[in-house]
Copies of this chain bind each other. A is one copy, B any other.
Amino acid sequence: MDIHLNECSFIRRGTIKDSIQEQLIAARRNQILDAAVKVFATKGFHPTTIKDIAREAGIADGTIYNYFENKMALILGILDRLNESDQRAKDFSLLNDEVNIRSFMKAYLRHRLALLKADNFEIFRVVISEILVNKELRELYYQKIFEPTFVMVEQYFQQWADQHIIKPVNLKLAMRAIPAMVLGLIIEHIIGDTAIEAEWDALPEFLTDMILDGIGVTNHDEEKP
């Protein structure tokens, strides 16, 4: 059980050893977060006890407190990992080659929705629920995920607007309405609406078309002046 790191003479303090330390710590943190995700997803945040998580992780209760300050820090940690796995910027930049906005948007939505489906929806349910209600978590989420995303997205929208690829609409609202729609649909799904899951694969195309073209039939009589 004891690891005699010091026996390794060529390791200089503060360099490799620390790196190993960090990796060990990161590994433990992930082990704990994995367990937390699993249990939170099943039982929800409040009903889950530290003991539940410790048992799931195969460690002692107290050990969790060596890696996380308190129970809420676990949600923070989960949020962080979700964010990392997100890599929105990367998502976007990878899509930069897409020839036009429609393909771009479709590909992006497909990617995002695939990620959502891959991760267990259940953990979103818990995280969103807690974000809504926990100020600290909310502010953190806003600063680390929300704002940066919008700052980045705004550039794209501005560029598209400049290039007259999209109409000169209220950009701030436009770029908020789109993720809002995705978020809203996910919540509708979580709440129990079966229609969304049934049409999950149709969503990227549908949403893209709706966002870009609308669902209204354009005619001169109905068209707004």
A167 at the B interface (CB under 8 A): yes
Interface size on A, residues (CB 8 A): 64
So how many copies of this chain end up in the complex? 4
Contacting pair A173 B199 (CB below 8 A): yes
Residues of B with C-beta under 8 A to A174: 206, 210, 215
Q: Which of A130, A146, A181, A190 has the most CB of B within 10 A?
A: A181
- The yes or no answer to A192 lying at the interface (CB within 8 A) is yes
What is the bound-complex CA distance between A75 and B210, given in angstroms? 35
Of residues 112 through 167 on chain A, the ones whose CB sits less than 8 Å from some CB of chain B are 125-126, 128-134, 138-139, 141-142, 146, 150, 164-167
**A169 to B217, Cβ gap below 8 A?**
no
Distance, CA A102 to CA B212, complexed state (A): 17
Residues on B with beta carbons closer than 8 Å to the beta carbon of A131: 191
A2 contacts the other chain (CB 8 A): no
Q: Is A12 an interface residue (CB 8 A)?
A: no
Interface residues of A (CB under 8 A from B): 44-46, 100-102, 125-126, 128-134, 138-139, 141-142, 146, 150, 164-167, 169-170, 172-174, 176-177, 179-185, 187-188, 190-193, 195-196, 199, 202-203, 206-207, 209-218, 222, 224
